[in-house]
Amino acid sequence: MTINKEITLAQQVRRDFPILQEKVNGKPLVYLDNAETSQKPLVVVNALRNYYLEYNSNVHRGVHTLSDRATEAYEGVRDKIAKLINATSQQEIVYTRNATEAINLVAHSWAMNNLRDGDEIILSVMEHDSNIIPWQLTAQQTGAVLKFVELTPEEEFDLEHFKSLISERTKLVSVVHLSNTLGCINPVQEIIAIAHEAGAKILIDACQSLPHIPIDVQKLDCDWLAASAHKMCGPTGIGFLYGKLDLLRKMPPFLGGGKMNISVRRNDATYADVPDKFEAGTPAVADTIAFGAAIDYLTELGMDNIYAEELQISQYLFEQLQQIPKIRTYGPKPEVARNGRLGISIFTIEDVDPHNLCAILDRSGIVINSGFHATEVLHQYLGITFTARVSLYFYNTRSEIDTFITALKQAVPKP
């Protein structure tokens, strides 16, 4: 695809997403729930279809044409992921069902075997449940202590507070790159450097950032990074864990079963090298191959182009949200965000229930989200209950934001 700088990226790509032409309750669909999951371009849907119709077979287990073709396509995606994030080797890419499983893999394989009573795990109050509960379970079983980085007055990651929490007992830091509620981009380069200086390992939750921001794991120097396909134009059921090769090789298996071993005896087994050691059982072959199609699609558009476009449309969203009476948005304002902010915003409107608001907007074909957004700890910290959330992707347009804002104004009770 040749990118036309004269028109917006959204104008060029919307035809690639058939669902964006659909109607909901008789109204054109305005999909603004991308932090929950993204829509899928036709090339991804076709990749799923073609696998099942043309070469459906298990991988690594057959000496026949279909299996060879499936295995080649399946393993080829590992190389695409490695290239996307600039990993040093495709062996550093472990397929998982999603980012949640990737984080749990590190918790069970590394943390359970390396943390001791009194060791410290540092998280932040903005973390997704998937980056809190695994560490709660780890702490309960190892005696480790959880510490939480709080927010600055501008409601972003408080780097100074983080520095004050780090100690010689800190063994692990696990933080989100781009918040799925506050929309802020966290200073992960600095966080990683501080963690390593203290001798701690660090995991980055890149679920929200990888769909929007160019990421270079070698430049970041993180120990692990977790992400999911379904937030970046790919299918559900497939994600990955990046880990430094020497670190992955020292970690014991997470699950036992076929493919992760070289040989099996009655009382023991010899395990395969990474990444196979962590990929027991029949994998999500079709979903993985379709994920590769999504990566190809994003790569062709250019992650730099996606990021630049989203910065502009995000600014427009926040400008328009301020027109809503009695609204309270959360997270740093774009103009003061230390590391930038993208188009994810939780908000409340006085005397308006977020769940009711979602239902009202749905009647107009507008899709947003409501609830805790799997960040109940953050909501408790902010002293709020449920919130509404609007979230953008590169295929969203200014006219869609205008439609959303008009409907939002109409949903607000008149004084």
Nearest CA to 73 out of 277, 295, 242, 237 is that of 295
Residues 325, 115: Cα–Cα separation, whole Å? 50
Look at the block and give the residue holding tokens 């933080």.
Answer: 175
Nearest CA to 125 out of 166, 186, 167 is that of 186
**What is the DSSP secondary-structure string of 317-363?**
HHHHHTTSTTEEE-S--TTT-TT-B-SEEEEEETTB-HHHHHHHHHH
Q: Tell me the domain boundaries of the chain.
A: 9-41+303-411, 47-299
C-beta neighbour count of 55 within 10 angstroms? 17
pLDDT at 3: 67
**What does the chain come to in residues?**
415
Backbone dihedral angles phi then psi of residue 405, each to the nearest 5 degrees: -65, -40
C-beta neighbour count of 415 within 10 angstroms? 5
pLDDT at 413: 82
Residues 293, 235: Cα–Cα separation, whole Å? 10
User: Which class is domain 9-41+303-411?
Assistant: alpha beta
**What is the DSSP secondary-structure string of 157-219?**
B-HHHHHHH--TTEEEEEEESB-TTT-BBP-HHHHHHHHHHTT-EEEEE-TTTTTTS---HHH
CA distances, 19 to each of 9, 38, 399 (Å): 17, 11, 17
The architecture that CATH gives domain 47-299 is 3-Layer(aba) Sandwich (3.40)
Residues of the chain with pLDDT under 50: none
Whether 259 and 60 have beta carbons less than 8 Å apart is answered as yes
pLDDT one-digit tens code per residue, 20-56: 999 999 999 999 999 999 999 999 999 999 999 999 9
CA distances, 355 to each of 5, 335, 358, 388 (Å): 39, 30, 5, 7
The SS3 assignment for 229 reads coil
Whether 169 and 120 have beta carbons less than 8 Å apart is answered as yes
Chain-centre distance of CA 264, in angstroms?
Answer: 36
Q: Which two tokens stand for residue 271?
A: 């395990």
Whether 390 and 345 have beta carbons less than 8 Å apart is answered as yes
pLDDT at 5: 66
